[in-house]
Structure 1
Amino acid sequence: MSPPPPPHFLVLTYPLQGHIAPAFRLARRLLAVAPDVLVTFSTTESAHGRLFAAKPEGGPNGGDGGRLEFLPFSDGTECGYAGGGGVEEFNAYMASFHAAGPRSVGDIVDALAARGRPVSRVVYTLMLPWAADVARGRGVPSALYWIQPAVVFAVYHHYFHGYAGVIAEHHRRGDPSLAVELPGLAPLAVRDLPTFLTESTDPAHYFHAVFLTFRDLFDTLDKETCKATILVNSCQELEVGALAAVGPHDVLPIGPVLPTGEEASILKPDDAKYMEWLDTKPASSVVYVSFGSLATMAREQLDELLHGLEESGRPYLLVVRKDNKAMLAGAEAEMGERLKNGIAVEWCDQARVLSHAAVGCFVTHCGWNSVAESVASGVPMVGVPKVSEQSMNARLIEHEWRVGVRAEVDSGGVLRAAELRRCVEEVMGDGTDAAEVRRKAEEWKLVVAEAMRNGGSSYCSLVAFVDGARSST
């Protein structure tokens, strides 16, 4: 009698850097917790081409002794969605993604089975609700990989299970400080809620297609005959209360999943000279500023950032993406002249930067990957949230974990120089409040490290997930 096949996870992700990074890290983590696990990592053809542009033909496959394979799926387009278009263009892309994706992923599952590498569990990120249907149609269990904190999952769950009207009414009143009460959660201000549940519910809104995708996602979870399995990129210790309010699902906190070796990135870091520059700076002296892989920066905002950073008198590392520079109309040369105390890069290895001893503060858009990396590195934060769940993450930073502050922007959404200086001083200054923020940051760093180590809470949750897949093969 032949032995059962090893557990094989097909990890599927939407083609954005903020989705690709945690999905790839989970793929690596799955390989690390069990020596017999196989993983196939899949994103769209256009993103796959950017991830492996420098690899020789066939180069990305065969990693980890053949245990890790990369197979792209089709989104029905040749080049993917470049961004910058209007609502109709984005809606057309999302329609193509949701139509072509299921067919292509179904073909991948069938092809893997035909060559003796059957998939035992499909794992998919937020924007692929159809992945569960593809898996179910082939008799394969699936799991949602929730790449945001558990509290955000709980808010979405309640919205789509009876609280849409409550949230809509609170938002309609126009007071961002108005408190919303949801089962099992502390009262939340309207401004803390994910923007996809407030602004994007309007059919004319640019991200309305994203709202509809989240609606379909929670419909998909409700269709599971058994409890839906949710892997959350957070740990039990960070979100004790929220994990009790996530609804009737089998929720496994398995994070924060951090880089282990080579990263998967569609944005390529500058050369490592910025690391050499950090080596020359005193411990905890540098302000690191990055607003992620998507947010655009207007010229006015860049001017305010440079003004505030220079006036702070502290060394700084500022990320201004190449695609954003193209929008700044001649600002690059002028920016170079204004960089007295700091340096600017187009992209960097953020995990390495945050783990460097010289970094003392992270001015961030509060994307969950950035927040998780900062907490894991013990670096205090200044939050400047914009869209999606970023305001909720800023609330966690300031009120739940007390590892930073949220900066206030003006009516045009611009972070002014004076406010930046004030916030940086609140986490890096000599006062008792700043010292307490730094103390809490170090404390949570140890908590996260304990959760992720062998035998820690997140490690054990992931092992249990792998064991469950093994028993079903």
Structure 2
Amino acid sequence: MEVTGTVKNKHVAVFTFPYSSHPALLLTLTRKLASAAPTVVFSFFNIEKSNRVLFSGLSGCTNILRYDVSDGIPDDYVFVGKPQEDVNLFLAVAEDEFRRAVRVAEIDTGLKISCLVVDGFFWFAGDMATEMNIPWVAFWTAGACSAGPDEEIVDLIPGLESVRLGDLPSGVVMGNLESPFATMLHKMGRTLARANAVPINSFQELDPDLTKNLSSNLNKFLNIGPFNLTTKEKTSEHDEYACISWLDNQKTRTVAYICFGTVFTPPAHELVELAEALEETETSFLWSINKDSYKHFPKGFLERTSANETGKVVPWVPQDQVLNHVAIRVFVTHGGWNSVLESVGAGVPMICRPFIGDQHMNSWMVERVWEIGLRIQGGNFTKRATCRALEHVFSHSYKRIEALKDLAHKAVASNGSSSQNFKTLLEVVTGSTP
């Protein structure tokens, strides 16, 4: 592989956890760093399937090199449906694969690795960095809040006083604590404090007490987001399904935007309950969901809501534009960290239906700590619970979300806290003051 442009004097290796939203976030961070440090080579290591999607049509940042590592899945392997089956296979080979790929990248570029920037999950990066005598940065892709009896309130650390044990990600204090994934989490917990810096996609004004506590326990705990406010493209996303023009014809703050990301879809019976609640409450809605799920809607639902223009169902939307449209009143979401930040950045309250991992904790924080939305009662969609949630959000003023929106935008301004923290991170990664 060849790096074009100016002469390069440093070489940074980026290790990606290749599942969910992790790779895209790591690439976003890498692009920000590469743009700010054009004399540094960034070798980006990820499984081929994920890399193929990420780098498709990617332009700019010629100092980023793509390297594929094995996903650990044998050619003749047949999946049997075990939890986190693909993740566990990858984890079994991850360290060896990254070590092998690093040697290849050093030969390709003629530059020794000068810093490791890794997904916070990769505990072994600390040992690698020690062996190589270089700094390492552990990027935490979830919120700061994600670092017994389901209803028990526990005083974990300052800033998390109101979090329930039942909302901690499975594998941390419950579930299968012997699985490779759980083992990874526990090893990560023991090594994270050794990292030279721990950047996070958030802004410190969102969780000031938690930020203060983590800063006292971690080296350079750096809020450098929200990324959705710092990496907006100069041109608008293509609106293939004319969502914006449809929203233009809706009244101000009257539309529920519904999307559960690209990975999660509620089970069929919940889709029915949610659809019936929308019609029962006469709520206008824009719903982004894969076409395979259309068959689960109540009979005539798509036709009725389309005919009276109260609803629009599409397989994809330009989410940033949609959330920032004046017609949007509420975001019905799975509570993933990226979605929460996008909603905060747009000043839109949320109705959360979490599925796995940190989504439960994020949703709890949305409702009980930040008070910028609510979780669906009972944890899943029923017609009654959904009607109540929609009626509550549409009848209440969520002033806190507007305040957090302002703080988020100030954080990413030129002299904001996130912008200043990014400069500190850049200094750690490049070994010099920008």
The answer, yes or no, to whether TM exceeds 0.5 is yes
Match of 1:152 among 137, 146, 154: 146
Offset from partner CA, 1:43-78 (integer Å, 9 cap, x none): 2111122334x65xxxx5xx4251333322222237
Offset from partner CA, 1:343-383 (integer Å, 9 cap, x none): 22223332232122222210111111100111011111112
Aligned to 1:242: 210
Offset from partner CA, 1:264-292 (integer Å, 9 cap, x none): xxxx9982422332232233221011122
Q: Residue 175 of structure 2: SS of its match in structure 1?
A: helix
Mean CA deviation greater in 32-41 or 270-279:
32-41
Q: Residue 70 of structure 2: SS of its match in structure 1?
A: coil
1:138 aligns with 2:132: yes
Distance 1:29 1:332 in 2: 45
Distance 2:405 2:317 in 1: 22
Q: Residue 236 of structure 1: SS of its match in structure 2?
A: coil
Offset from partner CA, 1:273-315 (integer Å, 9 cap, x none): 2233223223322101112232232211010111111222232
Aligned to 1:15: 18
Aligned to 1:232: 200
1:252 aligns with 2:227: no
Aligned to 2:96: 103
* Percent of paired sites with the same residue: 28
Offset from partner CA, 1:164-202 (integer Å, 9 cap, x none): xxxxxxx1xx4x222212243424323332333244235
Distance 2:346 2:10 in 1: 32
1:456 aligns with 2:416: yes
Summarize the alignment of residues 112-191 of structure 1 with structure 2, pairs less than 5 Å apart. Answer: 112-114=105-107, 115-153=109-147, 171=148, 174=149, 176-184=150-158, 185-191=160-166
**Aligned residue identity for 1:141:** P
Distance 1:402 1:79 in 2: 49
Match of 1:66 among 62, 66, 85: 62
Aligned to 2:176: 201
Match of 2:290 among 321, 325, 330: 321
Asked if the contact 1:279–1:358 (Cα under 8 Å) also holds between the matched residues in 2, the reply is yes
Distance 1:21 1:290 in 2: 18
Q: Flag the 1:387–1:99 CA change in 2: closer, same or farther, 3 A.
A: closer
> How many angstroms does 1:34 deviate by?
4.7
Asked if the contact 2:135–2:196 (Cα under 8 Å) also holds between the matched residues in 1, the reply is no
Q: Flag the 1:118–1:280 CA change in 2: closer, same or farther, 3 A.
A: farther
Number of residues of Structure 1 aligned to a counterpart in Structure 2: 418
Distance 2:261 2:361 in 1: 16
Asked if the contact 1:145–1:232 (Cα under 8 Å) also holds between the matched residues in 2, the reply is yes
**Aligned residue identity for 1:72:** D
Aligned to 2:387: 421
Q: Flag the 1:381–1:241 CA change in 2: closer, same or farther, 3 A.
A: same
Distance 1:314 1:121 in 2: 51
Q: Is there any run of 5+ residues in structure 1 with no aligned partner, and where?
A: 154-170
Distance 1:427 1:248 in 2: 38
Q: Residue 200 of structure 1: SS of its match in structure 2?
A: coil
Offset from partner CA, 1:417-464 (integer Å, 9 cap, x none): 2222222222222xxxx12x0x22221111001111111101111111
Distance 2:9 2:347 in 1: 37
Q: Flag the 1:408–1:95 CA change in 2: closer, same or farther, 3 A.
A: closer
Asked if the contact 2:344–2:405 (Cα under 8 Å) also holds between the matched residues in 1, the reply is yes
Mean CA deviation greater in 440-449 or 239-248:
239-248
Q: Residue 217 of structure 2: SS of its match in structure 1?
A: coil
Aligned to 2:242: 273
1:192 aligns with 2:185: no
1:447 aligns with 2:407: yes
Distance 2:387 2:302 in 1: 21
Asked if the contact 1:8–1:119 (Cα under 8 Å) also holds between the matched residues in 2, the reply is yes
Distance 2:403 2:315 in 1: 32
Distance 1:238 1:103 in 2: 38
Offset from partner CA, 1:182-236 (integer Å, 9 cap, x none): 2434243233323332442355xxxx432222112123335x3xx5421121111
Asked if the contact 2:322–2:328 (Cα under 8 Å) also holds between the matched residues in 1, the reply is yes
TM-score by length of structure 1 reads 0.78
Aligned to 1:385: 354
Match of 2:187 among 190, 212, 216: 216
Match of 1:408 among 372, 377, 400: 377
Asked if the contact 2:8–2:41 (Cα under 8 Å) also holds between the matched residues in 1, the reply is no
Mean CA deviation greater in 73-82 or 308-317:
73-82
**Aligned residue identity for 1:301:** E
Q: Flag the 1:78–1:442 CA change in 2: closer, same or farther, 3 A.
A: farther
Distance 2:318 2:240 in 1: 10
> How many angstroms does 1:37 deviate by?
4.9
Q: Residue 258 of structure 2: SS of its match in structure 1?
A: strand
Q: Is there any run of 5+ residues in structure 2 with no aligned partner, and where?
A: 1-5
Q: Residue 427 of structure 1: SS of its match in structure 2?
A: helix
Q: Residue 339 of structure 1: SS of its match in structure 2?
A: helix
Aligned to 1:368: 337
Distance 1:407 1:418 in 2: 10
Aligned to 1:159: none
> How many angstroms does 1:400 deviate by?
2.6
Distance 2:325 2:40 in 1: 32
Q: Flag the 1:398–1:331 CA change in 2: closer, same or farther, 3 A.
A: closer
Q: Flag the 1:270–1:298 CA change in 2: closer, same or farther, 3 A.
A: farther
